[in-house]
Amino acid sequence: MTTPLAIRITLWCWLLAALAAGRLFLLARIPPPAVQGILAGLTALLILLYRAWPAWRTWADGLDLRAVVALHLTRFVGIYFLVLYQHGRLPYAFAVPGGLGDIGVAVLAAVVILVPLAPAARLGAISIWNIVGLLDLLLVVLTAGRLALADPQAMRELTILPLSLLPTFLVPLLLASHLLVYTRVRRARLESDEAS
């Protein structure tokens, strides 16, 4: 089995497990701190895989940075947050700031990917986008956790499909990808400085 195939199989199995957890309402049955623990644990696992599995690191380091940024186009999910808020299914404190922030980060991701830039300028744009995107994501995660602890029913939508995929699959990938982008940008800058 080739390594990229093993990585793809790992990612597909993870996605299927996340879908099964959502379909079986597993997140809806556990207390809120456990959901945040799952999200943190999955993110830590991705970081560990990057550090401990050389094939995973080689694969991740070989991805075009624009492809990593493109993963964040999924943050247009913020539109759905706003729709759920309009229907009274998510609280304002999460849906509106989180939704608008995610939409903004997704729009900026599209700009960074599509606008023709010189390599150094693209690296700078990706670096700025990465900081903004990571801060927004951390604020959304912290807000969701705080609101779920205060009133688990207020954040129930995040424990059932389709949004249960956020803590069990997408957000860990997004958080880890921000760290990957930081690592790759830093490495590229160090290599550029050494070449100068």
Measured distance CA(7)–CA(154) in Å, rounded: 36
Give the per-residue pLDDT at 33: 86
Q: Residue 47: inside a domain, yes or no?
A: no
Note the pLDDT of residue 196. 65
Range of the domain at 75: 64-196
Instruction: Compute the distance between CA of residue 123 and CA of residue 66 in angstroms, rounded to an integer.
Output: 10
Cα gap 74→70, rounded to integer Å: 8
What does the pLDDT look like over 77-99, one tens digit per residue? 999 999 999 999 999 999 999 99
DSSP letter string, 101-162 = HHHHHHHHHHHHHHS---HHHHHHHHHHHHHHHHHHHHHHHHHHHHHHHH-GGGGGGGGSTT
- 17 within some domain: no
HSE (side-chain half, CA atoms, 13 Å) at 92 = 0
Q: CA-to-CA distance for 22 and 168, rounded, in angstroms?
A: 9
The two structure tokens encoding residue 154: 């207020």
Question: Is residue 30 assigned to a domain?
Answer: no
Tell me the mean pLDDT per 10 residues along the chain, length 196. Answer: 79 97 95 92 96 92 94 98 98 97 98 93 94 97 94 94 97 98 92 74
Q: In terms of C-beta distances under 8 Å and separation of at least 24 residues, what long-range contacts does 142-147 make, across chains too?
A: 143/93, 143/94, 143/97, 143/98, 144/36, 144/94, 144/98, 145/32, 145/33, 145/36, 147/91, 147/93, 147/94
Q: What per-residue confidence (pLDDT) applies to 2? A: 52
Q: Has residue 22 been placed in a domain?
A: no
Number of Cβ within 10 Å of residue 21's Cβ equals: 20
With respect to residue 157, please indicate whether it lies within any of the assigned structural domains.
yes
Specify whether the CB–CB gap between 113 and 69 falls below 8 A.
yes
| The residue to which tokens 């299927």 are assigned | 16
Please give the tally of structural domains in the chain: 1
For residue 106, being part of any structural domain is answered with yes
Closest by alpha carbon to 98, among 26, 174, 187?
174
Residue 163 lies in a domain: yes
What are the DSSP calls for 1-32, one per residue? --HHHHHHHHHHHHHHHHHHHHHTTTGGGS-H
Q: Is residue 132 part of a domain?
A: yes
